Amino acid sequence: MKTVGELVVYGANGVCRIEDIRDESFTGSARRYYILKPITEAGNSRIFVPTDNEKLVGDMKKLLQPAELFSLVAAADPFDMADWPSDGRSRSKLCRDILASGDREQLVRLIKTVFSQKKTPSASEESVCFRAAIMLYQEFSLVLAIEKADVIPFVLGQMQPAVKG
- Which of 2.60.40.740, 2.30.110.10, 1.20.58.1290, 3.30.70.20 would CATH assign to domain 66-163? 1.20.58.1290
- Report residue 48 CA to chain centroid gap: 18
pLDDT computed for residue 50 by the predictor? 94
pLDDT at 158: 82
pLDDT of residue 33: 95
Q: Shortest CA distance to 153 belongs to which of 73, 92, 78, 90?
A: 73
* Dihedral sign of CA atoms 74, 80, 86, 91 in order: negative
C-alpha 151/C-alpha 128 separation (Å) is 14
pTM for the predicted model, two decimal places? 0.79
Check residue 163 and give its pLDDT. Answer: 61
**Mind listing the pLDDT tens digit of every residue in the chain (165 residues)?**
899 999 999 987 888 999 999 999 888 889 999 999 998 767 788 999 999 999 999 989 999 999 999 999 999 999 988 888 888 888 888 888 988 888 899 999 998 988 887 777 778 888 888 888 888 888 888 888 788 888 888 888 887 766 655
Report the distance separating Cα 73 and Cα 85, nearest Å.
23
Domain boundaries, the chain: 7-62, 66-163
Q: Identify the pLDDT of residue 55.
A: 93
What is the assigned CATH class of domain 7-62?
mainly beta
Residue 16's pLDDT is 92
Report the 10 Å Cβ neighbour count for 137. 20
What is the structure's pLDDT at 126? 82
Which pLDDT score, from 0 to 100, does residue 75 have?
93
Sequence-distant (≥ 6) Cβ neighbours of residue 10 within 8 angstroms: 16, 36, 38, 47, 49, 59, 60, 61, 102
Give residue 51's pLDDT. 95
Amino acid at 115: F
Please tell me the predicted confidence (pLDDT) of residue 159.
72
Using CB atoms within 10 Å of the CB of residue 116, give its burial: 0 to 12 exposed, 13 to 18 middle, 19+ buried.
middle
